[in-house]
Structure 1
Amino acid sequence: MNRRDLLASLSATGLFGALSLPAAGLAGTSSTNLEGSLSDVWEAWRDANMDATGRVIDRLQKTSSHSEGQAYGMLLAAMMGDRATFERLDAWTRLNLAIRQDALMAWRWLPDAPVRVPDLNNASDGDLFRAWALLRAARRFDAPEYRTAAEAIVLDLVRSCIVHRPGADPLLLPAARGFETEAGVLYNPCYAMPLAMQELAAEFNQPVLAAAARGAVELARQLALDGVVPDWVEVTPQALGPAQGFSFDAGYEAMRVPLYLIWSGLGDHPAVLRFAEAQSRVPPGLAATRLSRGSGEALTTSAEPGYRAIAALATCSASQEIGSRIPPFSPSAPYYPATLQLFALIAQAEALPTCVPL
């Protein structure tokens, strides 16, 4: 699909109009089926990226650990029914990152630094996914204490990380501090996971979190009018523009935007179609890991299966084909693309059953 065809299809189908999220809890693959189909992949991910204490290790980032990585691991363990691993992940996280005065986590832990947690600021995507993981674990393992912990996180996210906007839905800030400017806010579109936000909002009666999910979906729609959704954007009452000091291309962070939209049941969202169209121009066997915001030109590419999995999932979603080119999982892949691939496989199973890997 070329750019002209893409824009014509967007206009014809009315996707540039208002979007609404589907009901929480997609009617997709059950947890039991996920376990059966992805158990080997989950075990390979766990063995490659987590140590015996429950720490998820990002070997390309000075063997550090991040709140997002711990939360991703907890969610995967809960979805795979692996209670022992979930408990190790949860215990390490509570001891080393959940050390703030509120229920949120510090965003990074450095194993070789004199002070292992030099910055107590949080990262809202890590907290969001941890709350989601705890809620899923509470249901899966019949453990009400996990639900209580999830609720405390949600309340503090709503209290500290939601910015209200006159005449528009609120947004989820990247952290509790440091992302508000004189003109507006610095916003990262991939920090919002609509399905997680909606599920938590419904469970804990937090309509403002559901409104922030709508705000994220709408903002991604607005950004897709002018190109691929970037890593960062400054949001002001007047405009959406580059965030000074941050990437305005669609790089490693923004790859999660189409993934989360598809997983949330929004596979026909304009941001997914923009991303798919740009990826369709990349040579076979590669995925673009950095796309020019305006032209969609591939600035960097990678053969990592995790990045190719997102490109293949988005392409299948946009083309409405039967079967996708999601590659086999590689146990030797670094933590980040390996995690994205496992998420892509779950999103495919839950939200796009027709895009089964071929």
Structure 2
Amino acid sequence: MNRRRFIRSLGVALSGLALPQGAWAQQPRSIAGAIPPGHALQASWQAWKTLCLRPDGRVIDGFQNEDSHSEGQSYGLTLAAAFDDEAAFESIRIWTEENLAIRDDALLAWRWRHDQRPHVPDDNNASDGDLFYAWALSAMAARHDRPELAQRARMIAQDLVSVCSVPHPNGSGSLLFLPAQQGFAADTGFTINPSYYMPRAMRELAAATGVSQLQRLADDGVALMTDLAESGLVPDWVTITADGWVPPPERFSFNAGYEAMRVPLFAVWSGNPEQPSARRYAAAAQTNPPDETTTVFERGSGASLERSPHRGYQAVVGLVSCAVSGSVGAAIPAFATDQPYYPATLHLMALVAQAEIYPQCVPI
């Protein structure tokens, strides 16, 4: 039997295990222990740690001067929870608590600079880092009966909605998720990063902590993505005004680039491949050449503006395209260590989402 025929037969066998599209969004589940010991992806997790994780628990970002930030620490903590790696989880958590949990509230400072003193010159937070950090804490608290982690997750969730959620300026009562406590509000509206919304993380954290506003943020965020996708790809940044959305200030990208590619990834990881943002991305990515992946699209036309050979970006395209189409077999490459932190992390996230939710999208 040739490989493609085997993949097709495997997809038929697995189809009875998969829920209909959209059904996963209503299923309670946890990232903790999603990838069991002995699973083939454990080798990829070990490779990611070798590439990105220092022995002291610091996640390094090669794209940003080998500094660290709450996003990287929180993505690392989430992946450690996904692989139920208690040793890595604890090292990342402890380093983060000692170096970034320096604010007066429960949130994390957004960046740690290895070549500066003090290492944290700015204690503003990054709401996506706080969200993923609390999500991972909550997952491991439930799995290992650690109430202190659950309490920490609850405190973060409470402060996150307190300082980073605001009413939509149109008076509709819907909520917006600010990228940080400071710097994104103006008299004309709020500047939003759509990729900071992770619907599944918000919903599961709301259920675990009782902070119901996170569920509202998830629902309102999905509605915002749908609105943005009506006229093109979801952009990196957008400004929300009382009259609707408009391009952000000039210092922010209105293309669909390195940030926005997380929107379709998080949509399918949340079990929602029918989301228009994912469908738009999958359609645009069909123009990718064999050895490169478009990393920056012009939002309206979908024209390719920038490309990269890093396999992590190809993994996102492969997973999203397969999840959207409902096909069997995905063009997800094997995990590679010849790429920096960001594509490597998206790569492993895509592999985790495939293994957990989309058995038919087995890499080919």
Q: So what's the TM-score if we normalise by structure 1?
A: 0.91
Match of 1:72 in 2: 75
Query: Structure 2 counterpart of 1:301, which letter?
Result: R
Separation in structure 1 between the aligned mates of residue 27 and residue 198 of structure 2, nearest angstrom: 12
Residue of structure 2 aligned with 1:63, choices 37, 62, 66? 66
Match of 1:219 in 2: 224
Contact 1:83 1:141 in 2 (8 A): no
Counterparts in 2 of 1:263 and 1:299: CA distance versus 1, 3 Å:
same
Contact 1:135 1:150 in 2 (8 A): yes
Separation in structure 2 between the aligned mates of residue 255 and residue 317 of structure 1, nearest angstrom: 15
Counterparts in 2 of 1:63 and 1:29: CA distance versus 1, 3 Å:
closer
Whether 1:86 and 2:89 are equivalent positions in the alignment is yes
Whether 1:290 and 2:293 are equivalent positions in the alignment is no
1:41-64 CA-to-partner distances (Å, cap 9, x unmatched) read 111101111111100011221110
Contact 1:102 1:156 in 2 (8 A): yes
Separation in structure 1 between the aligned mates of residue 29 and residue 37 of structure 2, nearest angstrom: 14
Counterparts in 2 of 1:176 and 1:30: CA distance versus 1, 3 Å:
same
Whether 1:136 and 2:142 are equivalent positions in the alignment is no
Separation in structure 2 between the aligned mates of residue 81 and residue 22 of structure 1, nearest angstrom: 22
Contact 1:98 1:105 in 2 (8 A): yes
Whether 1:235 and 2:237 are equivalent positions in the alignment is no
Query: Structure 1 counterpart of 2:346, which letter?
Result: L
Separation in structure 2 between the aligned mates of residue 45 and residue 212 of structure 1, nearest angstrom: 31
Residue of structure 2 aligned with 1:178, choices 183, 195, 200? 183
Counterparts in 2 of 1:85 and 1:33: CA distance versus 1, 3 Å:
closer
Residue of structure 2 aligned with 1:126, choices 129, 135, 145? 129
What is the SS of the residue equivalent to 2:116?
Answer: coil
What is the SS of the residue equivalent to 2:64?
Answer: coil
Separation in structure 2 between the aligned mates of residue 278 and residue 168 of structure 1, nearest angstrom: 33
Whether 1:317 and 2:317 are equivalent positions in the alignment is no
Residue of structure 2 aligned with 1:250, choices 249, 256, 262? 256
Separation in structure 1 between the aligned mates of residue 45 and residue 228 of structure 2, nearest angstrom: 34
Match of 2:204 in 1: 199
Match of 2:282 in 1: 276
Structure 2 segments unaligned to the other structure (5+ residues)? 1-21
* Identity across matched positions, percent: 46
Contact 2:311 2:335 in 1 (8 A): yes
Separation in structure 1 between the aligned mates of residue 143 and residue 31 of structure 2, nearest angstrom: 16
- Aligned-pair RMSD on alpha carbons? 1.8
What is the SS of the residue equivalent to 2:103?
Answer: coil
Contact 2:164 2:177 in 1 (8 A): yes
What is the SS of the residue equivalent to 2:294?
Answer: strand
Moved over 4 A (4+): 26-30
1:102-161 CA-to-partner distances (Å, cap 9, x unmatched) read 000000000101321011000000000000010111122222111111011001001111
| 1:281 CA drift (Å) | 1.0
Separation in structure 2 between the aligned mates of residue 239 and residue 76 of structure 1, nearest angstrom: 36
Query: Structure 1 counterpart of 2:132, which letter?
Result: F
Whether 1:107 and 2:110 are equivalent positions in the alignment is yes
Contact 1:316 1:355 in 2 (8 A): yes
| 1:30 CA drift (Å) | 6.3
Separation in structure 2 between the aligned mates of residue 145 and residue 28 of structure 1, nearest angstrom: 18
Separation in structure 1 between the aligned mates of residue 277 and residue 297 of structure 2, nearest angstrom: 13
What is the SS of the residue equivalent to 2:51?
Answer: helix
| 1:162 CA drift (Å) | 0.5
Match of 1:37 in 2: 40
Counterparts in 2 of 1:174 and 1:153: CA distance versus 1, 3 Å:
same
Separation in structure 2 between the aligned mates of residue 214 and residue 76 of structure 1, nearest angstrom: 24
Query: Structure 1 counterpart of 2:348, which letter?
Result: L
Query: Structure 2 counterpart of 1:345, which letter?
Result: L
Separation in structure 1 between the aligned mates of residue 41 and residue 65 of structure 2, nearest angstrom: 29
Match of 1:332 in 2: 338
What is the SS of the residue equivalent to 2:41?
Answer: helix
What is the SS of the residue equivalent to 1:217?
Answer: helix
What is the SS of the residue equivalent to 2:55?
Answer: coil
Separation in structure 1 between the aligned mates of residue 160 and residue 115 of structure 2, nearest angstrom: 30
Whether 1:267 and 2:270 are equivalent positions in the alignment is no
Q: So what's the TM-score if we normalise by structure 2?
A: 0.90
Counterparts in 2 of 1:75 and 1:27: CA distance versus 1, 3 Å:
closer
Separation in structure 2 between the aligned mates of residue 151 and residue 185 of structure 1, nearest angstrom: 26
Separation in structure 2 between the aligned mates of residue 175 and residue 30 of structure 1, nearest angstrom: 30
Query: Structure 2 counterpart of 1:69, which letter?
Result: G
